[in-house]
Structure 1
Amino acid sequence: MVESRGKRVPNFTQNQLQKITTDIFEAGGVPSDEAEIIGELLVASNLAGHDSHGVIRIPQYIGLIDSGLIQPGAPMHTERESTSHALLNGNWGFGHVIAQKAMSLAIEKAKSSTISAISVYNCNHIGRIGSYPLMAAEAGMVGITMVNAGGTALYVAPFGGSDGRLATNPLAIATPTRNGHPILLDITSSVVAQGKIRVAFNRGEPVPLGWLINSEGEPTQDPRDLMESPQGALLPLGGIAGHKGYALGLMIDILGGALSGAGCSGSGNTRLQNGVLMIVLDIANFTALDDFYEHVDGLVAHVKASPTAPGFDEILAPGEIEARQTERRQREGIPIDDETWRQIQETAMEVGLSELKF
């Protein structure tokens, strides 16, 4: 049985955690329909094992509402539009809500135009970006999402640099498959997401070598070197080939920030936002879906047939770990560490919920 106060918290069910999240945001002034979307997407991140983008964000988002940086219920405006594209002004509403609407629009436009592109600015943090191309994959299309941080959240050192100059600038691509489990690439252009450091910080755990450098540019395993001052930096994806992750991050900064007008790293912006680019391709207008699935199934079977290297039991397709983790956590429950739970309870008290009911 889950104890909401005073004792170590065991695993939550999906429904319990969604209710907790929705209740807190509704109490914090978020319209109920938006609170439900946010609850679903945050908990979906926890289900997939991406705790860095799950309910650990509740205190952060409530703090942004309190400071006026998130405007719950703000209307999204279309500033430029054609049959295949749109530029959207999110008016500083909830990023998850804006991004879900933007991807829905991209899917609808791709149905008539084959390819669509949606760019968004004045949009708060949209969470785990893999959630949005999955919407396209579930509609039988290819979905692509990339975001920058509008010139803020400069956590990532450029290749050869010693301080943060870029955001983590993630990229996600999803394609449908015949078996219903999409192939999903969901990566940051840094070696790891900043939220992973936040999780380790809350748990009081070290991080692997190769993730961080301290403020002197030296390798470190202490998450405090990023979460506290003087601040170090995340390293770009790629290790000794980090120039590749750095180049990827730079291009995402341009496509997410310059194209939308949200701004790029170094712009001097101080208000956190995601500059978003979403692209959708309607597969059926290129090739028959059955033919596409045959190619994809053959490719996956081909790579999985590789003899495993020492220390590995099998070859996995991108997104397969998350799909298995989702099934496992739906069955066994979602673990929340003590410090994150303490922060969630504290946030609930701040918005007037003396006791969480679930």
Structure 2
Amino acid sequence: MSSLIFQEKKLRAFTESVFLAMGCSNTHSALAADVLLASDLRGIDSHGVARLSGYIRLWKKKRINATPDIKVVHETATTATVDGDGGLGLVVAPFAMQIAMEKAEKYGSGWVAVRNSNHFGIAGYHAMQAVSRDMIGIAMTNASPLVAPTFTTERLLGTNPMCYAFPAGKYPPVVVDMATAAAANGKLEIAQREQKNIPAGWVQTHTGDSTTDAHALKAGGSLLPLGSDREHGSHKGFGLSATVDILTSILSGANYGPWVPPFVAFLDPLPDLPGEGIGHFHGAMRIDGFRPAADFKHHMDNWIERFKSAKPINPDQPVIIPGEPEVEAEKVRKLEGIPLSEPVVKDLGELAVMLGIGKLEE
């Protein structure tokens, strides 16, 4: 399927106009757009502007508060719990990450749990905020239940991504940003738009059978944990996903497991829930709380060089450092523009008409 190319500046302006039309402030609109554009620039198309219509559907169902009163509701010197007041996760999560970094600046580390939020974009955006401060950044979120734990067909967990970002010296940071499911739901959406099959091991049918049909999830199937099945380690993906769910929700007072509200507003009204909204968890650790930052970054460079020099199985495919493909994608897209598939462009055009804003131009 062909793509159209859009320059970052124009795509950013359009995205900001969508959030302004929702009633978000100028500051919040610019921040929310920055989170989504970071995803598109880094080549993570499933979490960029393609998500805009989803935010609008939630806003229309009054599931997103465009003018939230985001506040700390519980706090110690090194920890805090934030109530996002139903705001955009794209805005709530940076608020929480800022608190984590401020606490780390003062006390060596900072940890913030979040409740009553929404989808926060890519975890990497938030964790990477700490890198420029010579800190290790951590960000994770729970999500709508689409994943069946090992040995069941029942959807009980989200894709529950986690990210750890480590600064280096002369090299870009090492960014481990991943879903704890075999694949993110956004990748299925891309396959659906492009009318392609998906790899085996991503999804099972409602009866628990393996499938390559990108529409199987909508037909009652479920995503699989990282590892796909028990023989390939799905119990480990289940364990990682459970860890994210507990830290982001049971710790904060957000909804957890099968009670996490869906990203699309198909449950109306929502049933009685055990918590509030979606949950996040953020952390920041000052490197000089463990050793001099310069020493750490020197050895990070050495670590990167050694792994890059590992003998490859295929000479044309060297070892890829976590975060490296995203850095390369950003270099290219900053210069050449951001590709959007035709279905996404059509979707954004319909959004512009619905909201009465200027259309997106190439």
TM-score bracket, normalised by the shorter chain, equals over 0.9
**Aligned partners of 2:3 and 2:326: how far apart in 1?**
23
Query: Is 1:297 the counterpart of 2:301 in the alignment?
Result: yes
TM-score in terms of structure 1 length: 0.92
Indicate the SS of the match to 1:160: coil
Q: Does 1:218 align with 2:209?
A: yes
Provide closer, same or farther for how the CA distance between residues 264 and 324 of structure 1 changes in structure 2, counting only shifts above 3 A.
same
Give 1:109's aligned residue: 103
Contact 1:256 1:275 in 2 (8 A): yes
Letter in 2 for 1:176: P
State how far apart, in whole Å, the 2-side matches of 1:215 and 1:344 are.
32
**Separation in structure 2 between the aligned mates of residue 263 and residue 296 of structure 1, nearest angstrom:** 37
1:260 aligns with 2:260: no
Is structure 2 residue 230 aligned with structure 1 residue 238? no
* Contact 1:163/1:217 (<8 A) preserved: no
User: Deviating runs (4+, > 4 A) in structure 1?
Assistant: 267-272
Counterpart-to-counterpart distance in 1, 2:260 and 2:241: 18
Query: Could you tell me which amino acid in structure 1 is paired with residue 279 of structure 2?
Result: G
Matches within 5 A, 1:178-217: 178-179=169-170, 181-217=172-208
Corresponding residue number in structure 2 for 1:95: 89
1:270-329 CA distances to partner (integer Å, 9 max, x unpaired)? 489431111110011221111101221222222222110137521121000100011111
Counterpart contact for 2:159–2:185, Cα < 8 Å: yes
Q: Which of 38, 41, 44 is the matching residue for 2:35?
A: 41
Q: So what's the TM-score if we normalise by structure 2?
A: 0.91
CA contact (8 A) 2:161 2:178 kept: yes
Computed over aligned residues only, the root mean square deviation of the Cα atoms, in angstroms, reads 1.8
Provide the secondary structure at the position in 1 that maps to 2:6. coil
**1:356/1:263 CA distance change after superposition, 3 Å:** closer
Note if 1:16 corresponds to 2:10: yes
Structure-1 separation of matches of 2:257 and 2:122: 20
Distance apart, 1:357 and its partner CA: 5.6
Aligned partner of residue 159 in structure 1, secondary structure: coil
Indicate how the Cα distance of structure 1 residues 273 and 324 shifts in structure 2: closer, same or farther if over 3 A, else same.
farther
Contact 2:90 2:119 in 1 (8 A): yes
Moved more, 294-303 or 98-107: 294-303
User: Counterparts in 2 of 1:99-138, with a 5 A limit?
Assistant: 99-138=93-132
Deviation at 1:180, TM superposition (A): 5.3
Cα separation, partners in 2 of 1:132 and 1:198, compared to 1, 3 Å: same
Which digits, 9 at most, give the CA deviation of each residue in 1:95-126, with x for residues without a partner?
11111111111111101110110011001111
| Residues 255, 277 of structure 2: 8 Å contact kept | no
State how many pairs are aligned. 346
How far 1:132 sits from its partner (Å)? 0.5
Residue 29 (structure 1) aligned with residue 33 (structure 2): no
Structure 1 portions without partners, runs of 5+: 1-7
Give how far 1:81 is off.
1.2
Among the aligned pairs, what percent are the same residue?
Answer: 31
Structure 2 residues not aligned, in runs of 5+: 262-269
